[in-house]
Structure 1
């Protein structure tokens, strides 16, 4: 079996190449502020805490799915549901929200409009990053104080399982303390960039 040769003037169509989404998702100006466990960027404590929170999120999510599914099956098949499952699901969901918010903040995964800051010079961009994290740290300090007040005054227990309500509120305190600490570290890195804008990024504080 013979194949016909390709005509010399034939145009060979190539498959369209997909654009790398990292062009839109990764901001080179904020690279020094990111926590990366693979490249060991950022303080070791923050990196380990982020990994621990992500494993905790996975465990909570599995427990939440099992708890809710068991009651769905119980109602549909056995016409019976466990009353404490709904209470457990609510408490797990609260922990999932706050621990997830802290882990997402460490990974820079919260929704943000960065069309302007991506186009600014490195030094000017870090001026805005410093202001941003200064505001975040201030808000978190207020929430830490409020969370402490809630913890010290929460003496009640849940209606069915008898779990201390302070244990549920603890997720909020852990979340805001971690976000405040990461914000302070990022402010320190931004100060280093602002004060020494001509240094190479590998020599700036906070990269390792």
Structure 2
């Protein structure tokens, strides 16, 4: 018996992508500025970093555009524009990394952890953030050494080189602080999982 024309052309429903993006086990560790979840200091710093990223991005585009226009139309390049663009790019990368860590937007493979019970998932989250904190401690120490030894200045704009290295130190301090807070939350869940249900 032939199928009716309506049932043969019924489109398959599109699956909701939040099923793959949202991890219910991770909700307690997220810093959400819209729903006011997470420590207020981290929420404000995250918003501040995101606005700063926007300002740096506009300044970076303006700097590079000025140099392109100068070369193309006036046959004259602006030597300070390249140097400024490099400095802005360094700051953009490190502030962006810190803001992305705060929002849980770094690439991660969470196929296993999202299928685990809450307590086991938070044991893995605790170990993950313990490793991150250790790595950030090493980077803070290395960044401090770089800051202490960088006494030079940039060639054209005469900006202290330590100012460029400061972006790394501020980034890793923020990431380490957020990781410590997430370890504390995970410890609370591991000890008392019934409270978080």
Instruction: Give TM-score scaled by structure 2 length.
Output: 0.94
Say whether the 8 Å CA contact 2:67–2:78 is kept in structure 1.
yes
Alignment partner, residue 6 of structure 2? 11
Structure 1 unmatched runs, 5+:
1-8, 202-208
Are 1:180 and 2:180 matched, yes or no?
Answer: no
Q: Relative contact order: is structure 1 or structure 2 higher (C-alpha 8 Å, sep ≥ 6)? A: 1
Q: Quote how far apart the aligned CAs of 1:14 are.
A: 5.1
Alignment of 1:63 onto 2:59 = yes
3-state SS, counterpart of residue 188 of structure 2: helix
SS at match of 1:102: helix
CA contact (8 A) 2:147 2:165 kept: yes
1:1-208 to structure 2, matched below 5 A, reads 11=6, 16-201=12-197
2:15 & 2:64 partners in 1: Cα distance? 40
SS in 2 for 1:198: helix
How many residues were matched structurally?
A: 193
- TM-score w.r.t. the length of structure 1 is 0.89
What secondary structure sits across from 1:182 in the alignment?
Answer: helix
Q: Deviations over 1:68-96 (max 9, x none)?
A: 11111111111111001000000000000
**Helix, strand or coil: the match of 2:152?**
coil
RMSD across aligned positions (CA): 1.3
More helix by proportion, 1 or 2? 2
2:193 match: secondary structure: coil
Alignment partners' CA distance in 1, 2:166 and 2:99: 16
Runs of 5+ unmatched residues, structure 2: none
